[in-house]
Structure 1
Amino acid sequence: MGFLSKLFGSKKETKVVEVEPIEFNGFLIYAESISEGSQYRVAGRIVKHIDGEVKTHRFIRSDVLSSQDDANQLMLKKAKLFIEQSGSSMF
């Protein structure tokens, strides 16, 4: 069986983590840092309901930090600044 799984690839389990959004000026911010080795890349989503439709802006930054909490905190800070500068025009 080991040979066949190597030949056809084995299925790896992926963890689905529920992220609690932070509300800011009518937008929902989801901090979803990406693990890269021993570091975490700043990433996330900004979501807003506009005219009954859910609009989502996903972004991944070049910033990498050693702590997942630090990466998520920086994401929130950058997302708030982006919302203040762009508002709904980001969609």
Structure 2
Amino acid sequence: MGLFSRLFGAKSAPEPKEVTPVEYKGYLIYQEAMAEGGQFRIAGRITKTIDNEVKTHRFIRSDVVPSQADADDLMLRKAQMFIDQMGDNIFS
């Protein structure tokens, strides 16, 4: 199968990068901007341990910006606002 992949240009999935979460009011925010057409889509995860279980909310926005740093900054601010508005209902 490796031969056919090389012949027909199939690319392997990119290695997931290690993301250091930002702690906010007991939640962990993972800024995981997605490269898309030379820009970056605002994306990430919000997690919290509730009753010894890690709950996760995946966060993908339609917004795209020119740099990964801008996407990560906007992700953090939007996630913080979402946490302030929804609290633990994020995971419902």
TM-score for the superposition, normalised by structure 1: 0.89
User: Structure 1 runs of 4+ off > 4 angstroms?
Assistant: none
Tell me how far apart the structure 2 counterparts of residues 39 and 11 of structure 1 sit (CA, whole Å).
20
Q: Which residue of structure 2 lines up, in the alignment, with residue 14 of structure 1? A: 14
The percentage of counterpart residues that share the same residue type is 57
Q: Which residue of structure 1 lines up, in the alignment, with residue 65 of structure 2? A: 65
Question: Residue by residue, what CA displacement relative to the aligned partner does 1:56-76 show, whole Å, maximum 9, x if unpaired?
Answer: 000110110001000000000
Tell me how far apart the structure 1 counterparts of residues 2 and 75 of structure 2 sit (CA, whole Å).
42
Does the alignment pair 1:41 with 2:41?
yes
Tell me how far apart the structure 1 counterparts of residues 42 and 87 of structure 2 sit (CA, whole Å).
20
Structure 1, unpaired ranges of 5+: none
Q: CA deviation at 1:11?
A: 5.1
Q: CA deviation at 1:13?
A: 5.1
Q: Which residue of structure 2 lines up, in the alignment, with residue 83 of structure 1? A: 83
Q: CA deviation at 1:4?
A: 3.3
Change (3 A) 1:38 1:11: closer
Structure label with greater radius of gyration: 1
Q: CA deviation at 1:15?
A: 2.0
Greater shift in the superposed pair: 9-18 or 40-49 = 9-18
Query: How many pairs are equivalent?
Result: 90
Secondary structure of 2:12 counterpart? coil
Give, as a single letter, the amino acid of the residue that structure 2 aligns with 1:45.
R
Secondary structure of 1:30 counterpart? strand
Question: Residue by residue, what CA displacement relative to the aligned partner does 1:37-63 show, whole Å, maximum 9, x if unpaired?
Answer: 210000000000000000000011011
